Amino acid sequence: MNEVTVTRVGIIGVGLMGHGIAKNVLARGRFPLAFLDHPGNQPVDDLVGLGATACKTPADVAEASDIIILCVTGSPQVEAVLTGDAGALSRLRKGTIIVDCSTALPESTLRMAAAVRAAGGAFLDAPMTRTAKHAEDGALNLLVGGDETDFQNACAVLASFTERVERVGPVSFGHRLKLLHNYVSIGFMALLSEAAAQAADAGVDPAVFVDVLAKGGGAGAALQRMTPAIVTDDVGTVPFFIGNALKDIDYYRTMASASGASRTIADGVAGAIAAVVESGHGEAYIPELARFLRKPHPAA
């Protein structure tokens, strides 16, 4: 009788998004899971209760895994967990697939993919769209760059925590399209926040402001997501830190500069968000921009 091979999954980065990924890999996919024990993780008692194993270093995760999911902040962190001290590549098993779900710079992605291939593995960049709630619900969307065969070999694992997975081209195209997506999404919300701030300063009823936009050219996903913050001060609809938004816009600007593309509007968006971050609000959620961009009011 042939032995049944079970795909072993590792994850590095069990934060707001990674926790939901890990939970669904275990509960829906029923794959054995190893994770990197790290201070930035969300509470992991539920994962351990489902059978997950904590590892001390990225190398330990690599030794225990056939597919490794990265869900860290950005390119510096991806490079560190792969190539740093006790990095995953130091003990990568031949044929292991690295799936980078982070938001990263395409040029760094190409370098890391080459390093993974040199170590005997394969690399997919698979950045996520949607929110932490979608991650917990197993309903993320992924934009995947990489070889078709590697993509197919990883599909069963990816399906355990996603609603839609789309291969969008070769390695780095996932990250390139994610930066384009985030630039448009964050740019829309920043523009809408500035308009909402001006409307509020002028005494316009916020419900009327939203209604006028919804019936005209301002309608769309950004308005739907921002409406609770504008009308009722409910900022939890987009749980995405303003500091992370600035990082993504800066990544977009770097990508645009590398290709010689215009970035005039991106520079304006970055400047507006950077001023908010510099004033100490980097860990506020992005819908709060509508409040932070209001003009100063004299104390009562």
Set 178, 215, 247, 295: catalytic member:
178
What is the rounded distance in angstroms from the CA atom of residue 2 to the CA atom of residue 198? 68
CA 184, 187, 191, 196 torsion-angle sign:
positive
Measured CA distances, 158 to 4, 9, 138, 287 (Å): 20, 11, 10, 30
What values do phi and psi take at 117, rounded to 5?
-60, -40
Measured CA distances, 262 to 111, 187, 211, 251, 269 (Å): 25, 15, 33, 14, 13
What values do phi and psi take at 98, rounded to 5?
-90, 125
Q: In the annotation, is 178 catalytic?
A: yes
Name, in order, each residue with C-beta under 8 angstroms of 128's C-beta and a sequence gap of 6 or more.
17, 101, 135, 140, 141, 142, 178
Residues with a catalytic annotation lie at 178
